[in-house]
Structure 1
């Protein structure tokens, strides 16, 4: 069966679907790491780490995001887009989607993070479960590429990953796109 992929979305796939030579060596460990990206960025940063909140509010997820979150067509989620800056330079663009049905109990606080790092909240919560992680190479024709690079110099492609997390049994999706100024990933 032939699958159709929207020109506005990249082809997301699990790590095992990529051949070693397909992924740039300088970004591979960033993509494969299963710990807190926030903690890893802080340890790799030569300067201050901070979160720059770009946008937060109710939105409709992209089709592949909606399916991964198990949402119905037309469903809404809290959308949070941020830049993770190290030494004042954006290293990562992150896009988080939290379905309306997930904003109950302890997950309610996620809708009010402001410029607090999501990773600090997720990885400190004993109820957090990490689900599937997918990778993709994003190109200028993809909607997420445009959102991530709108304030950057011309870029041909960026790599990213997205992970389905569960907090107190409720799903949320975190997209992390690695921007051109991020240093080669430490081993």
Structure 2
């Protein structure tokens, strides 16, 4: 089982709830995206001029990072499906998304989440009346973070920092964690 090291320094990103970010300078073009509580899939579809699609980059069993494990209420050694995708608007990646679904969450109606392929997770979650949205945290990613490298791989541009959020969802009482890293060259043009 392969684990990607998402931070070269051995420390994880500093995730914080919105109220804790008041001392950071969050760019105006990203703030609305970070704070939005609706379906990101629906919002992207509404701003894409021609097309929206999901590109599956990888989906495999893996071990969450410590902070992810804690947020998901997982025990040490438990595994999860790790799904990484790009959300593409008019041919350009706008968002890198990393979802973690603990093995114990893949029961009942949540089992279908392991077979999404290139179907948008947001469509499934926001269409299900059993879905509840929990904590959302934000983070600033810099070039020193491995997650920055993974999210921006193949992009022609490189900024000193990008922003992301992660949200804990529950589907029929089972937790899953969705990380969304916003690629500002695209988002800033919306």
**TM-score, L = length of structure 1:** 0.92
1:174 maps to 2:178: yes
Unaligned runs of 5+ in 1: 1-5
Which runs of structure 1 show a deviation greater than 6 angstroms over 4 or more consecutive aligned residues?
none
In structure 2, which of residues 36, 39, 42 is the aligned counterpart of residue 39 of structure 1? 42
Aligned-residue offset at 1:64: 0.9
Distance 2:154 2:165 in 1: 20
Aligned residues: 181
Q: How large is the RMSD of aligned CA atoms in angstroms?
A: 1.5
Q: Taking structure 1 as reference, are residues 75 and 89 closer, same or farther at Cα in structure 2, changes over 3 Å only?
A: same
Aligned to 1:181, the other structure's residue is in SS state helix
Q: Deviations over 1:76-132 (max 9, x none)?
A: 100100000000000000000000000000000000000000000000000000000
Unaligned runs of 5+ in 2: 1-8
1:98 maps to 2:138: no
Find the counterpart in structure 2 of residue 81 from structure 1: 84
Distance 1:183 1:101 in 2: 35
- Please identify, of 176-185 and 60-69, the stretch whose mean Cα deviation from structure 2 is larger: 176-185
**TM-score, L = length of structure 2:** 0.91
